[in-house]
Amino acid sequence: MRIHLRPLTRAAFLLWLMFASLFSSLTAHAAKRDFEMNIEDTRITLVEKQQYHTFAFAGQVPGPLFYVDEGDEITVNVNNLTALPHTIHWHGMLQRGTWRQDGVPDVTQEGIKPGESYTYKFIAEPSGTMWYHCHVNVNEHVALRGMWGPFIVRPKKPTALEKKVTKDFILMLSDWDSKYANKPGFGGLPGDKFDYFTINGRSFPDTQPLRVSKGDVVRLRLIGAGDLVHSIHLHGHVFQIAFKDGFPLTNPIHADTVLVGPGERYDIIFTADNPGRWMIHDHVDTHTMNGDRPHGGIMTVVEYTEIKHDDAWYPWKNKKFQPNFYYEESLKKGPGIYTDDVFKGQLIQ
């Protein structure tokens, strides 16, 4: 009989393995992630002396990083400490069966009034580069008041390409109108003139370098958080447009420039195989201005660790490096909800 028992035992074992693996893939990463987040009147500095009154999530612009696993249960209790109503829309989240958590005023809920709180609860799905933002008076709150942050959902089944990534950066692109810097509750009218342009809330030269080393596989998660279309150009490398709005392209597109519209996300991936000092910037020429001063705006430098940065004329020769300006340190740590002083502004009371 043993000769018959053995295969059965083996089959049972294999079956058990399959179930265990299935169960594990469905539940292993499922975690509960709770967060308490204030919305606060906060003054941030875009560049040099240009400050801006924002309604900042957790007092920072961009808001805290949500880095969670696909399937995680997210609970966010929001306290509105500002003088205007707000909501949070979790841009890209399917909200399957939870449409009332979608954060649209007068459609899925009433706006959260000043002094009030609201708890959002939903499952993180699908995976990819997502974001969150206020959905009240978006022309002002999103376009001018910094009410946005990154929401990255780690996939259960990463693509072959993303598995190779060694450096992961988030770049949120947005636009500002200095005329309204100190006029909360106003601004964002059709035809208004944007005159400051930022990556993660800062303009060149107050952005930070993207530090890489030869051999790195680099992922840039570009998020169109503002009102304008940005045309992001990387020097010295070919990248693959690998993901759009969090979803992998069947055939990634090779390019050196990518148009990023409001609300869109593009994950571009390239191999760091060409040591040097390489610009990455918006090719909309007027988006490289700080007001009326050129060589600013949406612009930064990919710095290879192999290359010295001591040319006398290099403006970042003595730059104070702030790691995590692109959330790279937090992303390395794995899932969690991360605030960071690098993005904190000054509380306005």
Report 220-259 residues binding a copy of itself (CB under 8 A): 224, 226-227, 229, 231, 233, 235-238, 244-247, 249-251, 253-257, 259
Residue 287 Cβ vs a copy of itself, minimum distance, rounded to whole Å: 8
Closest CA to 278 of 238, 224, 223, 240: 238
- Distance between CA 141 and CA 147 in Å, rounded? 6
Q: How many residues bind a copy of itself (CB under 8 A)?
A: 81
Query: Does residue 277 touch a copy of itself according to CB under 8 A?
Result: yes
Nearer to a copy of itself, 190 or 334 (CB): 190
Residues in the chain: 349
Residue among 108, 166, 271, 324 that touches a copy of itself (CB under 8 A): 108
Query: Does residue 156 touch a copy of itself according to CB under 8 A?
Result: no
Nearer to a copy of itself, 36 or 110 (CB): 110
Query: Does residue 279 touch a copy of itself according to CB under 8 A?
Result: yes
Contacts of 121 (CB under 8 A, 6+ apart): 73, 74, 75, 76, 98, 101
Nearer to a copy of itself, 283 or 344 (CB): 283
Residue 59 Cβ vs a copy of itself, minimum distance, rounded to whole Å: 23
Q: Say if residue 263 is exposed, middle or buried (CB neighbours under 10 Å; 0-12, 13-18, 19+).
A: middle
Binding segment toward a copy of itself, per CB under 8 A, in 12-20, 80-88, 164-172, 289-297: 289-297
Q: Where are the alpha helices (DSSP H) in the chain?
A: 2-27, 138-141, 160-163, 328-333
- Strand 336-338, strand 346-347: pairing: unpaired
- Distance between CA 169 and CA 220 in Å, rounded? 5
Structure-block tokens of residue 148: 């946005």
Residue 14 Cβ vs a copy of itself, minimum distance, rounded to whole Å: 32
Q: For the chain, what is the largest distance between any 2 Cα atoms, rounded to a whole number of angstroms?
A: 89
Nearer to a copy of itself, 23 or 99 (CB): 99
Query: Does residue 10 touch a copy of itself according to CB under 8 A?
Result: no
Q: Any idea what DSSP says for residue 99?
A: G
Residue 204 Cβ vs a copy of itself, minimum distance, rounded to whole Å: 11
Residue 284 Cβ vs a copy of itself, minimum distance, rounded to whole Å: 5
Residue among 6, 96, 113, 164 that touches a copy of itself (CB under 8 A): 96
Q: Any idea what DSSP says for residue 344?
A: B
* Type of residue numbered 204: F
